[in-house]
Structure 1
Amino acid sequence: MNPLPRLQVSDRNPHLLMTEEGSPFFLLGDTAWELFHRLTFAEAETYFANRAAKGFNVICAVALSEVDGLRVPSADRHLPFHDFDPRRPNEAYFASVDAKIEQAAAHGLYVGFLPTWGDKLTAPWGAGPRIFHENDPETARAYGLWLGERYRDTTNLIWILGGDRPADLSEISPSWPYPWDAGFQKSTDWKPLWRAMAEGISEGTAGRALFSYHPQGGALSTSQLLQGETWLHVHMMQSGHGAGADVPVWDWIARDYDLAPVRPTLDAEPNYEDHPVNPWPVFDPANGYFRAYDVRKQCYRSVFAGGCGVIYGHHSVWQFWDGVRENINHADRFWTEALDRPGAFQVGYLRRLLESRPGAGRVPGDLLLASDLGEGGTRICATRDALGAYALIYLPKAGQEVDVRLHMLAGPRVRAAWFDPRSGQEAQLIGEYPARGSQRFVSPGAATDPEMDWVLTLDSSE
């Protein structure tokens, strides 16, 4: 009953994704980590319908959830395992997971499926309890095999290992900020456990699983810790919430983009909308909250720098806070209200903009720019078609200048317009220019106007 084609790395542009039928696939995800644990079937229906209507196509959720998912029963009053034993899964719990995966498919949604959150396996923080141990990779493999066989014919899954944890402490800098009171050595390497789980899943799915890995926040993406793992297909990073706004995710994407072997890469967790601003680990609402503008800046710039997609998140939605459960890190509204926050609409406009142009040949476009790119909150990013059919340039500020090498676009002329990422509309036609030399453009509005970002669209015309 899964009508969606499987996803795979593009055979035309290995930096991007495609369906097995050959259609380009821009991954627009939403973090719904607690979905299997906290939502009833009826609540999940409300959630899936809302996300599909906004243009999301991937929903990320965890089978063994972060918020005490092994000891607190699900909304359907089930626990995942008998006696915390991964070799004794509870059929009733996983039947509910099955139903929600099918429910997502009925709405045209893929599921970024995490077999477990990282605290069930790795250090150095989290409720756990740990049920996968570094001296017993066979249990991790057996769990992966069981899941793989269960979902062998389920076509709307992306398999995501990890779950907000590093895969290998031995590669982490001595300045790693987390506490070391969990009884682990700084040399602990969990890659063999994740490798075993991936091997089990791959065997169970007859080699048809598409794998990624959700790492901890910060500059260390999967490319630093897992580049040598043959099971990994898609790199992820988490620019996150703990380092404030405007962390240089564009540099991290560019770093992954240039690696060999080539893999698609994306920011799997930029600033959550309505999440308290840093400093980590004590998120203080007095410092303010990330809002839609912060989200747009990071999403556009990570994608334009070469990301195969991006995964949005809302701080109330990932935990499905309803006013009854514990409020984690100062959520400021119920999840049902948060579904319709501005950023959730606006990332859909990003997907629609990209899909309005040929997708298979999209590449980073900063070489088009002859002027200073800026840094931090002023950093400009561009993407373009490899054959010069179009270019899209993101300017995070009003009144911002950019010089564009129009001769790098296919000619003979170029149509220029301003796209408003807040409304999703073409706001202003600028005009047509000969496809030669450089041309200066200035984003609409005064430089003092707050939170006014723009996309300059350039399309080749006859």
Structure 2
Amino acid sequence: MALAGSLIWLAHSDRVQAQEPSSALIDKSDQIAFPIRSSANNRYLVDADGKPFLMVGDSPQNLIVNLSLADAAEFLANRRNYGVNTLWVNLFCITTKGTCPKDGTTYDGIAPFLTPGDLATPNAAYIQRADDMIKLAEQSGIAVLLDPIETESWLPVLRQNGIEKAFHYGQFLGNRFINRTNIIWLHGNDFQSWRNPTDTALVQAVARGIRSVDATHIHTTELNYWTSGTLDDPSWSGLVDLDAAYSYLPAFAQVSAEYHRADHKPVFLVEGAYEGENNFLVDGGSLLNLRKQEYWTMLSGGSGQLYGSAWSWPLEKGWRSHLDTPGAQQLKVMKNFFALRKWYELRPDEDHKTVTGGYDAIACHAGRTAVWAAHFAALSRFVWAARRIGYIAANGCATTARTDDGSMVIAYMPTLRPLTVDMARLAAPVIARWFDPTDGSFTDVGSAPIANTGSFTFRAPNQNQAGDEDWVLVLETAGGR
């Protein structure tokens, strides 16, 4: 039943579906002028020409160690084909997971340091290999989130070297890579001990060293799982320009928390569910979970996100056979959808003034409560107890965003249900369509524009092309993209 005074339109599944016009599929935003920086309002990233930069990334963390230059060029070309414009790469591989040699050497035996573990003795051959990889990405129009000494495996080395050596190591890197315009410095990585001031000081010493010689490249940091944001640690505020949300819980909650900080910076999802991995609390990296993560992020204030998979992050033997996965294909669908629209003008509808019904208040509240509770060790049991509605797989919160001028409203609905919209929040009559996030097709709602008055209840077609229930409602005025 519709709400009183509402209109109901049922978009039948046999309605004609269409892709975006073919000319629109040529994404001119792919032409990036490096370096990347924050926008004037600190809400998104822009390139050197001031053009909004929608971060769409992958996470080949072991690229430098496990691939040859020829292999890397092949990987980059493949990812570029899927719309990827950013890669997370660790300067030194994660040695604690068995995905590279325990001493951190490259596949062909190049060690990172002349004296093992001594930050004062970087191996020029190793650094050159890294530089060559980053240059390949630069030539391909791909930004590199470069982690100078990730903390999952290399924090003990930082501790052994101390603050002064860490600072000078940062200076060395800042000078060595200053001319690689495509770098964004990413510090941390599963930095579970960031509340320890000694550990934080060591990681920040590297960042300060880089900044002392390089004022061009921007910085961010990944803190801890289950969920965190860069600015959970306020001591990073003056060192970073970009806020990395990290969450194995529903992404909308952590991204939204970062978006609403008084000292906000552009926020992106640095890590969450990975395709093909069953990380704790993620309930598996299913395609539906990945899509939830992607659209929740973009409609909760996110300026972009990184995808990851069980095969692309370690780049172990057999990686080629797992490049063209459904997750990578659907990432491209998401990228094409938002890149063709004014995504950088979207504002989250968290007060539910636009989508007034059907958003699932319980699920939305549960996701935010789970993220809040996960920040407190004493409340971890609550997160576990609330997993049925707090986890990604079980959470059905529908997120919505609207442009300030009322020219566009986008809502992501994880499961089939009616969505009621206050049409007065639109600036003019709108073309309404359902977008299938699994294949990029559209289903029209009616044959004429819908008036921007009163309430209107939208019902999606039945299951999408993949047999799931998630859809994206798109309301656009003429020229509203």
TM-score, normalization by structure 2: 0.80
**Which of 24, 35, 38 is residue 6 of structure 1 equivalent to?**
35
Worse overlay, 247-256 or 312-321: 247-256
Q: What does 1:248-287 correspond to in 2, within 5 Å?
A: 248-276=250-278, 278=280
Q: What's 1:370 paired with?
A: 356
The equivalent position to 1:202 in structure 2, one of 187, 197, 211, is 211
Q: Which amino acid in 2 is paired with 1:269?
A: E
Letter in 2 for 1:22: G
Aligned to 2:46: 18
For the 8 Å contact 1:4–1:105, the answer to whether it is kept is: no
Q: What residue number does 1:156 align with?
A: 182
- Which of these residues, 409, 413, 417, is aligned with residue 433 of structure 2? 417
Which residue of the partner structure matches residue 304 of structure 1? 299
Paired position in structure 1 for 2:127 = 94
Aligned residue runs from structure 1 range 390-409, under 5 A:
390-397=408-415, 399-409=416-426
TM-superposed deviation, 1:260: 1.8
Q: Name the amino acid aligned to 1:420.
A: D
Gaps of 5+ in 1: 123-129, 171-187, 241-246, 281-287, 323-333
> CA shift at 1:386, angstroms?
2.0
Query: Deviation of residue 278 (structure 1)?
Result: 3.6
* Contact 1:116-1:163 at 8 Å conserved across structures: no
Contact kept? 2:230, 2:236, Cα under 8 Å: no
Matches within 5 A, 1:110-121: 110-121=143-154
The corresponding residue for 1:442 is 459
The code of the aligned residue for 1:200 comes to G
- 1:149–1:157 Cα change, 3 Å: same
Q: What is the correspondence of 1:306-325 to structure 2 with a 5 Å cutoff?
A: 306-322=301-317
Higher relative contact order by CA 8 Å / sep ≥ 6: 1 or 2?
2
Structure 2 residue matching 1:169: 3-state secondary structure: coil
Distance of 2:347 and 2:193 partners within structure 1: 29
- From the superposition, tell whether residues 453 and 446 of structure 1 become closer, same or farther in structure 2 (CA, over 3 Å): closer
- How far apart, CA to CA, are the structure 1 residues paired with 2:358 and 2:280? 28
Deviation, 1:119, is 3.1
Equivalent of 1:169, from 171, 177, 195? 195
Contact 2:358-2:418 at 8 Å conserved across structures: no
Given that residues 118 and 164 in structure 1 are in contact (C-alpha distance below 8 angstroms), is that contact kept between their aligned partners in structure 2? yes
User: Aligned partners of 1:167, 1:45: CA distance in 2, in Å?
Assistant: 36
Residue 374 of structure 2 is matched in structure 1 by none
Q: Distance in 2 between matches of 1:134 and 1:218?
A: 28
> Of residues 216, 221, 242 in structure 1, which corresponds to 2:224?
216
Q: How big is the shift at 1:228?
A: 5.2
Residues 125-164 of structure 1: CA distance to partner in whole angstroms, max 9, x if unpaired? xxxxx22128821111111111110111211011100022
Normalised by the size of structure 1, how large is the TM-score?
0.83
Structure 1 runs (4+) deviating above 4 angstroms are none
Verify the 8 A CA contact 2:303 2:344 in the aligned structure 1: no
Equivalent residues of 1:70, 1:81 under 8 A apart:
no
The 8 Å contact of residues 162 and 214 in structure 1, kept in 2 or not, is answered as yes
Q: Distance in 1 between matches of 2:272 and 2:264?
A: 23
Partner of 1:71: 103
**1:365-409 Cα distance to aligned partner (Å, 9 max, x none):** 343110142214311011222222211111112x32111122112
Counterpart contact for 1:363–1:385, Cα < 8 Å: yes
Give RMSD over aligned pairs.
Answer: 2.3
Residue 231 of structure 1: CA displacement? 0.6
CA shift, 1:82, in A, is 1.1
Tell me which residue corresponds to 1:433.
Answer: 450
The answer for the alignment partner of 1:225 in structure 2 is: 233
Following TM superposition, by how much is the alpha carbon of 1:289 offset from its aligned partner in structure 2, in angstroms? Answer: 4.0
Separation in 2, partners of 1:307, 1:87: 38
Q: CA deviation at 1:461?
A: 2.6
Look up the SS of the partner of 1:262 in the other structure. Answer: coil
Is residue 120–residue 132 contact of structure 1 (8 Å, CA) maintained in 2? no
User: Larger deviation: 355-364 or 43-52?
Assistant: 355-364
For this pair of structures, how many residues does the alignment match?
408
Pick closer, same or farther for the CA change 1:15–1:405 going to 2, 3 Å: same
1:304–1:111 CA distance, 2 compared to 1 (3 A): same
Partner in structure 2 of residue 81 of structure 1: 113
1:3 and 1:409, CA in 2 relative to 1: closer, same or farther beyond 3 A?
closer
Measure the CA separation in 2 of the matches of 1:435 and 1:61: 47
- Provide structure 2 residue ranges, at least 5 long, that are not aligned to the other structure: 1-30, 364-388, 390-394
Letter in 1 for 2:213: G
Letter in 1 for 2:207: A
Give the direction of change, closer, same or farther, for the CA distance of 1:97–1:430 in structure 2 (3 Å limit).
Answer: farther
Secondary structure class of the residue paired with 1:296: helix
- Which structure shows the higher helix fraction? 2
User: Helix, strand or coil: the match of 1:455?
Assistant: strand
The answer to whether the 8 A contact 2:146-2:185 is kept is yes
* Distance in 2 between residues matched to 1:293 and 1:440, nearest whole Å: 24
Is 1:384 the counterpart of 2:402 in the alignment? Answer: yes
